[in-house]
Amino acid sequence: MDQPANTITTTKHPEPGEPLIPFINWRGLQTLYMKEVKRFFKVQLQTIWAPAITTLLFLAIFTVALGRGDREVLGFHFNDFLAPGLIVMGMIQNAFQNSQSSLLIGKIQGTIVDILMPPLSTGELLASFIAGALTRGFLVGLAVYGAMWAWPGVTPFIREPWAVAYFAISGMMMLALLGVLVGLWADKFDHAAAVSNFIVQPLSLLSGTFYLIDRLPPLAHDISLGNPFFYVIDGFRYGFLGVADGPIMQGVIVLAAINILMLGICYWALESGWRIKT
């Protein structure tokens, strides 16, 4: 039967509150991730090469001061013992800097609304910040790792690839999530710098990067085992040397638990609009 001429066909629109993108907004997720990558890549001399050079300066200073002769640590030359810790230390510190600076700059410049307004879920926002931070950390790590092959007396062979991958990703993720929290909390660059100078840097330097914690006094040894940065450094180094200064499986569990907890806290903070919504 023919439709009457005066019948008007209407397009059905979604009901109010019904999501237009019911699952994952892959286009939005990719766009925000590329924004994060392009943001730090535009100033790559500052965000990638400068940290890599700083890490190599650490290597130069400590190998000249302590690496002469036949000194060995864990059965390896001191230079080979030192190199993996310096690589992952540069990676995790830059992961922190990337995520906290992204949010803090957005808050200060007033451009954070450009992130909050698009149809992106809290999980997609968090995933983009983490992925951008991990990308920067990996690039710094690759730059340092490549340069160390040309460094005299350093042979950074990877013996346990799973450990290198797991502890690098876990460490960078932990610091990226910390950076998200700091970026949400901080109102100015001084606040973020305080966290970096008084928390991130000391915990990194006192993580067993330059020494074995087994040689510390009992109290200092126990305190080191409570430092999550130690498990990142020691586990990553285990991937290169095949031997560890501490319990590897304990490190795997500790870092997994910390990251799960941090993910929950960061998700709540972004979902509730903590310090970014009025």
What are the two backbone dihedrals, phi and then psi, of residue 188, each rounded to the nearest 5 degrees?
A: -155, 170
pLDDT of res. 69: 54
Span 195-219, mean pLDDT? 91
How sure is the predictor about 278, in pLDDT bands with cuts at 50, 70 and 90?
low
**pTM attached to this predicted model:** 0.89
Q: Where are the domains of the chain?
A: 26-64+74-272
Least reliable range by pLDDT among 58-62, 70-74, 137-141, 208-212: 70-74
Strand ranges, E, within 45-104: 72-73, 76-77
Span 208-214, mean pLDDT? 88
How sure is the predictor about 12, in pLDDT bands with cuts at 50, 70 and 90?
low
Statement: residue 248 has pLDDT above 70: yes
Statement: residue 134 has pLDDT above 80: yes
What separation in angstroms does the CA of 277 have from each of 112, 113, 133, 158, 270?
10, 9, 23, 46, 10
Instruction: Say which residue, 152 or 3, is predicted with more confidence.
Output: 152
What are the two backbone dihedrals, phi and then psi, of residue 48, each rounded to the nearest 5 degrees?
A: -120, -55
Residue 14 near residue 20 (C-beta atoms within 8 A): yes
Statement: residue 229 has pLDDT above 90: yes
pLDDT of res. 22: 65
Instruction: Say which residue, 24 or 18, is predicted with more confidence.
Output: 24
Mean pLDDT, all residues of the chain: 88
Q: Between helices 122-149 and 50-66, what is the axis angle to 10°?
A: 50
Q: Which two tokens stand for residue 239?
A: 């991937």
pLDDT of res. 61: 83
d(CA 74, CA 241): 9
Statement: residue 177 has pLDDT above 90: yes
